[in-house]
Amino acid sequence: MKHYLEKLISREDLSFEEMKGATKYCLSEESTDSEIAALLTALQAKGETADEIAGIVDVIRSESTFSIPPIPGAIDNCGTGGDKSYSFNISTTSAFVMAGAGITVAKHGNRSITSKSGSADVLEALGVSLTLSIAHVEELLHENKIAFLFAPNVHHALKPFTKVRKDLGIATVFNVIGPLTNPISLDSQLLGVYRKDMLEMLAESLQKLGRRRAVVLNGAGNMDEATLAGENHLVLLDNGELTSFTLRPEDVGLPYFSKDEIRGGNAVENAEILQNVLKGKKGAYYDTVLLNAGVGIFTNGKAETILDGIDIARESIESGAALSKLENLIEYSKKIPSEVH
């Protein structure tokens, strides 16, 4: 660890393998809180690279208690959080729309950290179990096209980092990598980040982690979701090639809505918003979900353009398919014991 810390303090980058070695050491019984804190702080001060992010994520995923055979075409859509916009649960709502369009969505998430309601909070308010076993998740992904993986249930080995992060109380690499640590072997991924300067670097990290196709985006107003408040910045990863582009509401025939018009509330309030959107209630929430689900469907490759993706997303909602995915998940949750096997 001393070697790794000396390199970071000298503002030298760690290689993919060096970062894996440092992470494995942090998760071992030999490490101390001081060493873990020093690593996280030095990384943050230097600025993380794609190799460093991919290295730490690779170890976290390998340590996960969840191991499911790869599911062709599986995707996750999630923002890193941290944009402090207090928006409703955009990506969680969009996930059901994508599933309703026939795409397998392995939704990985956690409770709220910087907002009033994280994905786990709103799903729990809806009656979705957060303690699904590996067998439950696998069955749901095959039969319902969507399941939720509650991060603390699939990453038990991260306790050393969790304690130190709480003690430090500052932003670290963990404020960015959460969505990348999904233990399911994803074919594609839609990742939102509140920092525009991290778009290409995160896209490169996803490539190193084996994503065939991905979109990393920074929403108008530096949100970690696509918004209708102005210009969104996106980077597409497609079979190793990176392409940067911008997206405005008028580009896809959607109206302008300010960030204030998509603010959410607590978990119960956001659950109501989510259900209303899936039931087809028009307005800022609905159109924002169309945009994000459309980008997700495009990311997955089911649509050739984002505009086509939005059309598919609209059909998923209007046909009732998206809502049925949520209802199936709630009904399934009622039938299983509230414990992880």
At residue 337, the pLDDT reads: 66
In degrees rounded to 5, what are phi and psi of residue 287?
-70, -35
Q: Based on the domain organization, do 28 and 168 belong to the same domain?
A: no
70 within some domain: no
Q: Based on the domain organization, do 246 and 319 belong to the same domain?
A: yes
DSSP string of 150-188?
EHHHH-GGGHHHHHHHHHH-S--THHHHGGGG-SS--SE
Binding residues for Mg(2+): 91, 224-225
Q: Based on the domain organization, do 109 and 23 belong to the same domain?
A: no
At residue 241, the pLDDT reads: 95
79 within some domain: yes
Q: Based on the domain organization, do 59 and 85 belong to the same domain?
A: no
Q: Based on the domain organization, do 115 and 166 belong to the same domain?
A: yes
- Residue 194's CATH number: 3.40.1030.10
231 within some domain: yes
Q: Which domain holds residue 1?
A: 1-63
At residue 242, the pLDDT reads: 97
143 within some domain: yes
Binding residues for 5-phospho-alpha-D-ribose 1-diphosphate: 79, 82-83, 87, 89-92, 107-115, 119
Domain end (from 9, 32, 63): 63
273 within some domain: yes
- Residue 50's CATH number: 1.20.970.10
Q: Are 105 and 76 in contact (CB under 8 A)?
A: yes
At residue 340, the pLDDT reads: 44
Which residue's entry shows tokens 């399911």? 184
Q: Based on the domain organization, do 161 and 288 belong to the same domain?
A: yes
312 within some domain: yes
Q: State the total domains in the chain.
A: 2
Domain end (from 63, 93, 113): 63
Q: Based on the domain organization, do 93 and 233 belong to the same domain?
A: yes
Sequence-ordered strand ranges (E) for the chain = 75-79, 105-109, 146-150, 188-192, 213-218, 232-238, 241-247
Binding residues for anthranilate: 79, 110, 165
At residue 15, the pLDDT reads: 97
Q: Based on the domain organization, do 56 and 133 belong to the same domain?
A: no
Tell me which residue of 99, 95, 82, 105 sits closest to 177, measured CA to CA.
82
Q: What is the pLDDT along the chain (341 residues), one digit of tens a residue?
A: 999 999 999 999 999 999 999 999 999 999 999 999 999 999 999 999 999 999 999 999 999 888 888 899 999 998 887 767 788 999 999 999 999 999 999 999 888 655 567 888 999 999 999 989 999 999 999 999 999 999 888 888 888 898 898 888 888 898 888 889 999 999 999 999 999 999 999 999 999 999 999 999 999 999 999 999 999 999 999 999 999 999 999 999 999 999 999 999 999 999 999 999 999 999 999 999 999 999 999 999 999 999 999 999 999 999 999 999 999 999 999 998 654 43
Model-level pTM?
A: 0.93
Q: Based on the domain organization, do 183 and 327 belong to the same domain?
A: yes
Q: Based on the domain organization, do 84 and 228 belong to the same domain?
A: yes
Binding residues: 79, 82-83, 87, 89-92, 107-115, 119, 165, 224-225
Q: Based on the domain organization, do 11 and 104 belong to the same domain?
A: no
69 within some domain: no
Q: Based on the domain organization, do 192 and 257 belong to the same domain?
A: yes
In degrees rounded to 5, what are phi and psi of residue 147?
-145, 160
68 within some domain: no
